[in-house]
Amino acid sequence: MSNDVTIFVCVSCRDGADQDARPGAAFMEALRARLGERSLALSVEPVECLAVCKRPTTIALAGPRKWTYVIGDLDRAAHVDDVIDSALRFGESENGIVAWKERPVCFRKGVVSRTPPLP
């Protein structure tokens, strides 16, 4: 089921302190590396912008017949495993809606929006 999940990662956001840094790109690399370490096959796709540019790192969790969640304020040092766990729970859910108490804290606090699946 979780193979139907795609984690879109904005790789274009700029770091406020270092305009040359791309925290989302670094987050995506760390995410892919960690998925390999955990032998998980979630899809990770870079995107140029999720329109949440002031809250890097920003991702979206998406899958067929599921609500899409956009989540911001993610930190590479703190949240890679939490994003993986969020994506796994998202994949296991029937429609993408993960119970509040089952969401890692970064998922609870960082949600920017959710969008329903196409009918």
Binding site for ligand FES (CB under 6 A): 10, 12-13, 49-53, 58
Q: What is the CA radius of gyration of the chain?
A: 13
Choose between 60 and 84: whose C-beta lies nearer to ligand FES.
60
Closer Cβ to ligand FES, 35 or 52, answer by number = 52
What's the min distance (Å) between Cβ of 92 and ligand FES? 27
Q: Please, what is the minimum distance in Å from the beta carbon of residue 11 to ligand FES?
A: 8
Q: State the DSSP H helix or E strand holding residue 98, giving kind and residue range, or none if neither.
A: none
In the bound complex, what is the minimum distance in angstroms from residue 99's beta carbon to ligand FES?
Answer: 27
Task: List Cα–Cα distances, 118 to 65, 103, 104, in angstroms.
Answer: 7, 24, 26
As a whole number of angstroms, the distance between CA 12 and CA 66 comes to: 25
Please tell me the distance from the alpha carbon of residue 83 to that of residue 105, in angstroms, as a whole number: 10
CA distance 119 to 115: 12
Beta carbon of residue 73, minimum distance to ligand FES (angstroms, whole number) = 12
For ligand FES, give the closer residue by CB, 53 or 78: 53
Please return the burial class of 73, using the count of CB atoms within 10 Å of its CB with bins 0-12, 13-18 and 19+: middle
Q: Residue 20 or residue 94: which is nearer to ligand FES going by CB?
A: 20
